[in-house]
Homo-oligomer: A and B are copies of this chain.
Amino acid sequence: MAKRVVIVGGVAGGPKVAAKLRRLDPEAEITIIEKGKFLSYAGCGLPYYVSGEIKEYRELMETPVGVLRDPEFFEKFKGVKVYNRTEAIKIDRAGKMVEARRLDTGEILSFPYDYLVLATGAKVFFPPVKAVDFDHPGEINARDLANVHALHGIEDAESIRWMIAEKLAKKAVVIGGGLIGMEMTESLVKSGLEVTIIEILPEILPIFDEDMGILVRRYCQSQGVRVMVGERIERFEARDGVVKRVITDKGEYEADLVVVAAGFKPNTDLAQRAGLEIGVTGGIKVDMFMRTSDPSIFAVGDCVEIENLICNSPAYMPMGSLANKQGRVAAINIAGGQEVFRGALNSAIFKLFDYTIARTGMTVRQAKELGYEVEYALAPAPDRAHYFPGAQGVITKLVADKRSGKLLGAQVIGSGNVTKSIYALATALYYGGKVEDLSSIDLPYAPPYASAIDNICVAANVLRNKLEGKMVGISPHEVERKRKRGEDFVLLDVRTPKEYQNVRIPGSTLIPLGSLSERIGELPKDKEIITFCAVSLRGYEASLILKKHGFLNVKVMDGGIRCWPYALEK
């Protein structure tokens, strides 16, 4: 008899299970139950629909050859029965039956299953915010205000786009400086809005290290965006059901559009009601076969807890790419095969105007929290041969375990080709690579695409110098703190006079590398000396010369002036 497979959720992981299972088992009876109207749409594309770069939302639901993935498509091309606008409300695990309600008619339907797949996705995390409406006294629900939106589905995107088109929105406040918040910022700026980002943490991009966060924030500000960090939203002030002002603990911001991008949490309501095990991160607990605590029930996508491949601890990583991988694995196992989902690296990438910002694995902060002894390197470099026209800058940060020399994570940002680096680094991490491996990895080279010594090799070599004790680094952040504390040290710029004249760090001392040996007497042996250049290769060479001359307290500033995020003199 044909297997009956019921899938709850029709956006990403669910349809993937259906499509793959159909290819493996031509006989299976496959049913998708989806609460919303739309199926199998590219949720990650919504910011680009809001900005109008994608003209119609239909494009997010089409196959590459322009066929709409509606219920008829699933029926006709995949042999999959779809019930949309139908909410699964109960699982009868003993009777192997899902109960669902047709949202338009209230009709209750029963779906018997041999295998059930939960692909119930995520819920928007809406921070606790008070709201007052001056036209309607008494406290109201911030979420219900007409111009407050999360970006969770096509309907949200539609509303925001409509407001922009109707010129109802000119000033937007984006709550949350994470990935979605940044993507929405770009989208809204491109739509002509004035945007303010409000982030509760001390820096934007909490899944990046602070040194990268500040560089991105400065870039974002250079694009005309107001970015407030370390500010807590206190309340929304509305008039007649529409937000007018956002009040934080530090300021007040006019707004005619508020986009809440404070994160997601797994949607496990149905699973919890059915008594399925929930993991420590709040996601549905699954084994490596994507099977829940009930062997007849699988779960995939933004509702599950998975394993962090680097540290093997439970993790929540709501990503469309992982949902697809998990869906594939679940389908193979349901069809009687054996396939495992190994876990993930928390790889992520996003576009912010001309910048690409990407990460994989662990940040310094995360690794330290997990008890690793950490070393890192910051390497700014052009994305192709420096003499090749159009070369753009990229900053590569590598994070390593000091004891084992193993790579723990990487962050790459800049206006240049970031993808090549982050793809290679995620791959190295996936294979448990060591920093020393990266010195000799044979990446293809030609001047339009890379330097003869690839950025990854450069960063790895800097990190090896640090791991081997040949170089002691200090972050620009720490240097700035020392300056603010009024500490007595020499900030030694070893660039050329021409470079120095062009731009310099306030209070720095210039001795070009070429004259350092002869002018060594000008430097005090009893003070800390922090060397740097454009990217800190010459800074490193200077530190070696100083050590040769008996200087003991010498550090090199990570990433040189290129990674200096504070004010510069010109």
Residues on A facing B (Cβ under 8 Å): 12, 23, 26, 42, 44-45, 48, 53-54, 59-60, 62, 64-67, 76-77, 183, 309, 319-325, 328-329, 340-342, 344-351, 356, 358-360, 382, 385-389, 417, 419-424, 426-428, 430-431, 433, 437, 439-450, 452-454, 457, 461, 495-496, 498-499, 513-514, 534-535, 540-541, 544-545, 548
* A12 CA / B45 CA spacing, docked (Å): 45
4 further A-B pairs in the complex, CB-CB below 8 A; given A65-B495, A349-B450, A431-B433: A44-B445, A45-B387, A53-B389, A325-B453
Pairs A–B under 8 Å by Cβ, sample size 15: A45-B387, A54-B387, A54-B388, A54-B389, A62-B387, A66-B498, A77-B513, A325-B453, A346-B442, A348-B446, A351-B449, A419-B420, A419-B449, A427-B433, A427-B441
A548 surroundings in chain B (CB, below 8 A): 26
> Are A45 and B545 CB-contacts (below 8 A) given A342-B440, A441-B426?
no
* Distance in angstroms between the alpha carbons of A419 and B45 in the assembled complex: 23
The residue in chain B whose Cβ has the minimal distance to the Cβ of A20 is B461
Which residue on chain B has the smallest CB distance to residue A419? B420
Given contacts A23-B540, A42-B387, A65-B534, contact A445 B496 (CB under 8 A): no
- Complex contact B53–A325 (CB within 8 A): no
Instruction: Give the complex CA separation of A386 and B65 in angstroms.
Output: 9
- Give chain B nearest CB distance to A446 CB in angstroms: 5
Query: How long is the Cα–Cα vector from A421 to B329 in the complex, in angstroms?
Result: 23
> Within the complex, which residue of B77, B324, B423, B541 is in contact with A420, where a contact is CB–CB below 8 Å?
B423
How long is the Cα–Cα vector from A545 to B23 in the complex, in angstroms? 9
Say how far A455's CB is from chain B's closest CB, in angstroms: 11
Complex Cα distance A548/B293, Å? 34
A544 touches B26 (CB 8 A): yes
Supposing A26-B544, A452-B44 touch, asked if A446 and B347 sit within 8 A by C-beta, the answer is no
Instruction: Give the copy number.
Output: 2
Q: Which residue of B lies closest to A471 (CB)?
A: B23
Which of A428, A443, A548 gathers the greatest number of chain B CB atoms within 10 Å?
A: A443
Q: Which one of A77, A325, A423, A499 has the highest number of Cβ atoms from chain B below 10 Å of its Cβ?
A: A423
Closest chain B residue, CB of each to CB of A421: B423
Bound-state Cα–Cα, A387 to B59, Å: 6
A446 and B325: CB pair below 8 A?
Answer: no
Most chain B CB within a 10 A radius of its CB, from A321, A345, A358, A450: A321
CA distance A437 to B540 in the complex (A): 39
Query: Is A388 within 8 A of B48, CB to CB?
Result: yes
B23–A457 touching, CB < 8 Å: no
Given contacts A348-B444, A422-B444, contact A457 B67 (CB under 8 A): no
Are A442 and B419 touching (Cβ within 8 A)? no
| A44→B322 contact, CB < 8 A | no
Question: What are the residues of chain B within 8 A of A358 when measuring CB–CB?
Answer: 444
The residue from B445, B499, B514 contacting A77, defined by CB atoms under 8 A apart? B514
Return chain B residues, CB-CB under 8 Å to A349.
444-446, 449-450
Is B65 a contact partner of A499 (Cβ separation < 8 A)?
A: yes
In the complex, A440→B540 CA distance in Å?
Answer: 39
A424: chain B residues at CB < 8 Å are 423-424, 426-427
Report the bound CA distance from A541 to B325 in whole Å: 19
The one of B62, B67, B430 that contacts A442, using a Cβ cutoff of 8 Å: B430
A329 surroundings in chain B (CB, below 8 A) = 440
Give 5 closest A-B pairs by Cβ, nearest first: A321-B445, A349-B444, A431-B431, A419-B420, A427-B427
Residue of B nearest to A47 (CB): B447
Tell me which residues across on chain B come within 8 A of A431, comparing CB atoms: 427-428, 431, 433, 437
Q: Which residues of chain B are within 8 angstroms of A53 by Cβ–Cβ distance?
A: 388-389
* Residues in B neighbouring A351, C-beta threshold 8 A: 446, 448-449
A19–B345 Cα distance when bound, in Å, is 36
CB neighbours (8 Å) of A439 from chain B are 325, 328
Taking A387-B62, A496-B67, A541-B23 as contacts, is the C-beta distance between A426 and B452 under 8 angstroms? Answer: no
A26-B548, A441-B430 as given contacts; A446 in contact with B44, CB under 8 Å: yes
Contacts of A76 in B (CB 8 A): 514
Residues of the B chain whose Cβ atoms lie less than 8 Å from the Cβ of A457: 325
Q: How far is the CB of A26 from chain B (nearest CB, A)?
A: 5
| Closest residue on chain B to residue A322 by CB atoms | B442
Query: How distant is the Cα of A294 from the Cα of B60 in the complex, in angstroms?
Result: 64
C-alpha gap A514/B44 in the complex (Å): 28
- In Å, the complex CA distance between A345 and B445 comes to 12
Cβ-defined contact, B427 with A309, below 8 A? no
Contact at B45–A444, with CB atoms within 8 Å?
A: no
